[in-house]
Amino acid sequence: MASANSPLAGRHILLGITGSIAAYKAAMLCRLLKTAGADVQVVMTPLAKQFITPLTMATLSRRPILVEFFDPENGAWNSHVSLGEWADCMLIAPATANTLAKMAAGVADNLLLTTYLSARCPVAVAPAMDLDMYAHEATQQNLRTLAARGVRIIEPAEGELASGLTGKGRMAEPEAIAAYVGAMLGEKKKTLEGKRLIVTAGATIEAIDPVRFISNHSSGKMGYAIAGELAARGASVTLISGRTALPTPQGVRRIDVLSAAEMYEAAVAAFDRADGAVMCAAVADYTPAEVSQTKIRKSDGEMTIALRRTRDIAAELGARKEGRLLVGFALETHDEEAHAEAKLERKHFDFIVLNSLRDAGAGFRGDTNKVTLIDRAGREELPLMSKREVAVRIVDKIESKLNIPAAER
């Protein structure tokens, strides 16, 4: 079952297969990549066809296999340039000593090699050969040359080889290769290194008495996804969190608070040293005017609780932002855009993320959201997607607001 959370989901992978006995493992590898949700296009060298049939690979990848520069039947051209542009990653598994040598030397005598030379995406190779071929200085030199050019080498394992000898040269197992490629595609460029950002997330809790409180449905998922994405891109992140059951995202410093007043204190203090803040928390606008120190006993009559306004954290940061970045959220139920645009101006946000409870799958608690990003230049309506993907789009916009050039992203 494909997992939307896998870094392989929806990614385009060019799987290159060369003429090695380990080619049979490419069938399982292809299956694993497909199961994780990747779109796999297989390119084989002519010799690879002797080890595994194109029919097997076409059936597993659900795409025709490419071997020659053009189809001899109808002359259709297999463009190595378009293949290179299509791919998010090129994986050559198994990679023979011959193909590694040609890659290192820039030889372009088959479709797989011309595609490699045209590819702009990350490239990984899983060498497979006899132990002496692998250990030979020529092969090691070629691997060093490729690694120096950024090609990822998935180390072969030690074990029994097709020759009957035992040693290093056996292609890594398909599970290990699929995991390696997943991790490689999940890596983020550290575009936000050196930036200090605050994220508020989750619901605040306003005590009525020691037993009861006023709160809302925020789970913290949206804010935690943003904090995790910022940290993955190298930012130093302070997450000011209301009560949630979520684990702290990797690399994030978390400050736990309960009430709007506590969140205000923590956010204002952290903002002094920050380059910006993302205000994703659902903060109470009102809090009980008095908190009873003892449990309020029930009586026959009705009961009224006097409420007073809390301080608006986002508005306060907006008033003292002095060129720093401020991103707001608007959770609306009607007249969505008008309300969001009013908040954008009133709180001095650089942009605001509008989500409406009228949209199925949007807002509180779930793993998805449907948002519109609004700034003074216009609006961008995004389709329903996972909160993780929404976080990616929000952080992309944060990068553009911080003037991080697209080429570095």
Neighbouring residues of 42: CB distance < 8 A, sequence distance ≥ 6: 15, 16, 17, 26, 30, 57, 58, 61, 63, 65, 66
Residue 216 bears catalytic tag: yes
- Taking residues 286 to 325 in sequence order and writing x for each that binds ligand PMT by CB under 6 A, - otherwise, the string is ------------------------x-xxx-----------
**How near is the Cβ of 217 to ligand PMT at its closest, in Å?**
6
**How near is the Cβ of 159 to ligand PMT at its closest, in Å?**
47
Parallel, antiparallel, or unpaired for β 12-17 and 152-153? unpaired
**How near is the Cβ of 409 to ligand PMT at its closest, in Å?**
24
Give dist(CA 183, CA 171) in Å, integer: 18
Segment contacting ligand PMT (CB under 6 A): 58-66, 101-109, 215-223, 294-302?
215-223
Segment contacting ligand PMT (CB under 6 A): 20-28, 111-119, 122-130, 362-370?
362-370
Give dist(CA 332, CA 329) in Å, integer: 10
**How near is the Cβ of 332 to ligand PMT at its closest, in Å?**
7
Give dist(CA 121, CA 380) in Å, integer: 28
Give dist(CA 392, CA 155) in Å, integer: 31
Measured between alpha carbons, how far is residue 102 from residues 42, 93, 105, 296, 320 in Å?
A: 19, 15, 5, 80, 60
User: What single-letter DSSP state applies at residue 398?
Assistant: H
197 binds ligand PMT (CB under 6 A): no
Query: Which amino acid does the sequence have at 397?
Result: K
**Candidate list 5, 74, 98, 216, residue with the active-site label:** 216
Tokens of 100: 């590694």
283 binds ligand PMT (CB under 6 A): yes
Segment contacting ligand PMT (CB under 6 A): 38-46, 132-140, 219-227, 376-384?
219-227
- Taking residues 363 to 392 in sequence order and writing x for each that binds ligand PMT by CB under 6 A, - otherwise, the string is xxx---------------------------
Beta strands in 172-251 (DSSP E): 196-201, 206-207, 213-214, 236-241
96 binds ligand PMT (CB under 6 A): no
Give dist(CA 234, CA 354) in Å, integer: 26
**Out of 181, 281, 385, 394, the residue judged to bind ligand PMT by CB under 6 A:** 281
**Out of 160, 175, 285, 380, the residue judged to bind ligand PMT by CB under 6 A:** 285
Closest CB to ligand PMT among 173 and 265? 265
For the chain, give the number of residues: 409
| Alpha helices (H) in 19-108, listed in sequence order | 24-35, 54-61, 80-86, 97-105
The backbone torsions φ and ψ at residue 181, rounded to the nearest 5 degrees and listed phi first, read: -65, -40
**Out of 6, 139, 142, 218, the residue judged to bind ligand PMT by CB under 6 A:** 218
- Taking residues 243 to 272 in sequence order and writing x for each that binds ligand PMT by CB under 6 A, - otherwise, the string is -----------------x------------
**How near is the Cβ of 355 to ligand PMT at its closest, in Å?**
5
- Catalytic machinery residues: 216
Residues in contact with ligand PMT by CB under 6 A are: 200, 202, 218-223, 260, 279-283, 285, 310, 312-314, 328-331, 343, 355, 363-365
